């Protein structure tokens, strides 16, 4: 029985395409050889031209150096003849004149003796020669002894070269020859015509400025160039040759044309391939750059990040998360619950939360819990969970951001403690101001008690007639009333200054106002201020801290009393109003317009029912400058004020969800008003009816 062998599809494709691959490779190799041969021939010709240019440039350099060296030797021989007294000074000038006539590149030639005096020159009447003499004589370097030859550019003519050759014998300076060369003439007479026909020859200084140029065949093409440095004593001049020939062209025949056509097809395919590869490389580069940017961003975050798959396995943690917990990433990635950073006492909460995540019932808002560091330390964290979705829209897990809120908790606790201290200090400061008035207020009931008890004792001591029990009972009852009055004052003060934790609860605002009235009366009595109350009957219960509301009322009333110290006595009127502001069953028309603040709409949206309390004075008012900083901490218009009263009052009211504002009083002075949440009247009536039915 024959069994058929199944060949994989990839192997079949490879065997089918194999016969086509070899001819393509051979054709490409052939095209490469055809292209390489003309190019190689072109490069060989270009190298030959460059080498020929270098050889010709070296020949020109040697010719220039030879001509200058010959001039130097000839002139120094002439100077030796003069020093040896073989010729006189006039004869020396004649011979210099003859030598410069035969060598056109020499413009001036001057002979100087050992004392730097001019002995002979090629032309005494030449203005240029005279100018050269004067320039050399005026030069500082001319008066110094010359130790070796030197050359420099002429200060008068940039295209001239001045060289000075000293004559020494047994290290004794005898004379010197100064020669001025015409560089253009030197270049024209030294460089042969055939070389100048094919090249652009220039002499350049150290700053690449042209000193002389010969270009019989036109400007150079900058294809074949060569630079040689002409070394002069203490000066360097560059000889630059720039060929007028262009690059050799490819062979113009059928072979080259076919190569070009075939090459164009190959180039087109290569360009298409290059574009595809370039796009791919750009995409990969952008992807790497994006990945690097995201990694750097995640690593620089102070927020911990973690990713979990649908089974709860950790697939990613950032460095901040590892630093927060004290575990390396290797110990966390790949872990399944329970996690090593779960606190044992919170295992149940973690499992419930994880079950909610798996079922998709987790809420998007953050939640707080407790984590455990590697060293066993517990710390609070705030966690936000969100689904992790891939590029196809499928959820692959959950992404979490974790914030360490330890410092925030400590800061909140410290702020709460500081705020509590400020409230306590403010209450103590208020009581300090009320101490003297409290003594006066308690003196009256104590004096009355003393009088009533004295009368009762007198009745009991009567010897002639039996004691009148009715008079005795009346005296004792009045003494009891005065004692209760004094006790009420002391109790109010004690409750106000007692240090306690701030806590909100429902209580009767009428009872609070009744208990605080004696303290307000104490403050107003010494300043001769009349206090008027407008309190609605049956005010609902408020949800607030009783002591804080007392403090706000006493601070506002004390400020109102102090604001009226300098006004006339008839104007010293203070009003305290308490009104039910609104409820869902009430409308704006049912609320008195005088009791509505400018931000009533905001309060109406925040709470279903609010209570409005107003403290109205007829004092000096608040100026625009003071109004800008009125609620700022430590700002006060009083000489001995702490500047914390109104700031504490606003903080206390905002703690209850209300608002503290002020506005000018139309009768003069200021109206301070604040709102606090209270029960709805309709709900109170329903509760009362239910209680009565029961």
| 8 A C-beta contact, residue 370 and residue 381 | yes
Residue 615 CB burial class (10 angstroms; 0-12, 13-18, ≥19): buried
Taking alpha carbons only, the member of 86, 60, 115 closest to residue 241 is: 60
Asked if 572 and 527 count as a contact pair (C-beta separation under 8 A), the reply is yes
Residue 110: predicted pLDDT = 92
d(CA 402, CA 371): 10
Q: Which two tokens stand for residue 233?
A: 């004593």
**Residue 625 CB neighbour total at 10 angstroms:** 9
Dihedral Cα 632, 638, 644, 649, nearest 10 deg: -90
pLDDT value at position 429?
A: 60
Q: Write down the pLDDT at residue 584.
A: 41
The span from the CA of 336 to the CA of 304, in Å, is 18
| CA-based end-to-end distance of the chain | 102
The ranges of the chain with pLDDT < 50 are: 1-4, 126-128, 135, 137-143, 145, 252, 440, 499, 583-607, 639-643, 687, 691-692, 694
Lookup: tokens for 675: 């709102």
Q: How far apart are CA 233 and CA 493, in angstroms?
A: 110
Q: Is 334 helix (H, G, I), strand (E, B) or coil?
A: coil
CA distance 24 to 20: 7
In the prediction, which pLDDT does 46 show?
77
Q: What is the CA radius of gyration of the chain?
A: 56
| Token couple for 542 | 């408020």
Predicted local distance difference test score (pLDDT) of residue 576? 92
* CA dihedral of residues 363, 366, 370, 372 (deg, nearest 10): 100
């Amino acid at each position: 029985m024959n069994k058929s062998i199944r060949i994989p599809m990839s192997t079949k494709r490879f065997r089918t395409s194999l016969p086509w691959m070899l001819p393509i490779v051979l054709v490409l190799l052939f095209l490469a050889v055809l292209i390489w041969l003309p190019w190689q021939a072109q490069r060989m010709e270009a190298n030959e031209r460059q080498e020929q240019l270098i050889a010709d440039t070296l020949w020109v350099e040697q010719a220039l150096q030879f001509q200058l060296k010959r001039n130097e030797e000839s002139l120094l021989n002439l100077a030796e003849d003069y020093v040896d007294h073989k010729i006189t000074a006039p004869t020396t000038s004649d011979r210099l004149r003859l030598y410069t006539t035969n060598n056109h590149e020499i413009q001036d030639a001057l002979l100087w003796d050992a004392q730097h005096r001019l002995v002979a020159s090629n032309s005494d009447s030449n203005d240029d020669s005279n100018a050269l003499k004067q320039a050399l004589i005026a030069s500082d370097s001319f008066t110094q002894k010359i130790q070796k030859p030197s050359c420099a550019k002429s200060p008068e003519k940039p295209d001239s070269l001045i060289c000075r050759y000293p004559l020494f014998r047994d290290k004794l300076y005898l004379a010197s020859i100064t020669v001025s060369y015409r560089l253009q003439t030197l270049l024209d007479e030294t460089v042969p015509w055939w070389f100048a026909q094919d090249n652009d020859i220039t002499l350049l200084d150290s700053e690449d400025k042209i000193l002389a140029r010969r270009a019989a065949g036109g400007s150079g093409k900058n294809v074949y160039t060569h630079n040689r440095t002409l070394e002069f004593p203490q000066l360097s001049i560059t000889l630059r040759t720039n060929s007028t020939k262009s690059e050799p062209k490819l062979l113009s025949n059928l072979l080259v044309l076919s190569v070009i056509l075939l090459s164009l097809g190959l180039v087109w395919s290569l360009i298409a391939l290059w574009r595809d590869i370039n796009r791919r490389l750009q995409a990969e580069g952008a992807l790497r750059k994006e990945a690097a940017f995201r990694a750097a961003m995640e690593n620089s975050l102070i927020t911990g990040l973690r990713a979990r798959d649908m089974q709860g396995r950790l697939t990613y943690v950032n460095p901040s998360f590892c630093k927060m917990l004290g575990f390396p990433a290797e110990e966390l990635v790949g872990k399944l619950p329970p996690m090593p950073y779960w606190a044992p006492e919170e295992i149940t909460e973690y499992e419930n939360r994880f079950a909610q995540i798996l079922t998709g019932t987790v809420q998007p808002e953050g939640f707080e819990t407790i984590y455990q560091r590697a060293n066993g330390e517990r710390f609070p964290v705030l966690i936000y969970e969100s689904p992790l979705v891939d590029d196809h829209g499928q959820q692959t897990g959950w992404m979490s951001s974790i914030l360490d809120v330890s410092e925030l908790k400590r800061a909140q606790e410290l702020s709460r403690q500081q705020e509590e201290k400020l409230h306590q200090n403010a209450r103590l400061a208020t009581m300090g101001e009320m101490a003297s008035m409290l003594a006066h207020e308690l003196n009256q009931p104590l004096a009355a008690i003393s009088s009533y008890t004295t009368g009762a004792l007198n009745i009991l001591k009567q010897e002639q007639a039996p004691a009148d029990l009715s008079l005795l009972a009346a005296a004792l009852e009045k003494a009891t009333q005065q004692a209760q009055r004094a006790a009420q004052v002391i109790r109010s003060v004690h409750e106000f200054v007692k240090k306690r934790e701030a806590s909100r609860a429902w209580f009767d605002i009428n009872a609070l106002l009744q208990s605080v009235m004696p303290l307000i009366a104490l403050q107003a009595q010494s300043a001769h201020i009349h206090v008027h109350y407008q309190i609605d009957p049956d005010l609902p219960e408020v949800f607030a801290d009783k002591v804080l509301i007392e403090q706000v009322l006493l601070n506002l009333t004390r400020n109102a009393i102090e604001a009226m110290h300098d006004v006339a006595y008839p104007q010293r009127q203070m009003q305290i109003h308490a009104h039910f502001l609104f409820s869902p069953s009430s409308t704006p028309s049912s609320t008195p317009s005088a009791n509505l603040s400018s931000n009533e709409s905001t309060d109406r949206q925040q709470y279903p029912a609010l209570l409005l309390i107003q403290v109205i004075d007829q004092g000096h008012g608040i100026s625009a400058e003071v109004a800008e900083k009125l609620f700022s901490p430590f700002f006060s218009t009083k000489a001995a004020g702490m500047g914390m009263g109104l700031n504490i009052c606003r903080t206390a009211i905002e703690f209850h969800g209300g608002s503290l504002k002020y506005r000018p009083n139309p009768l003069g002075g200021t109206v301070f008003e604040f709102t606090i949440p209270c029960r709805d009247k309709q709900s109170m009536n329903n509760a009362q009816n239910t209680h009565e039915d029961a």
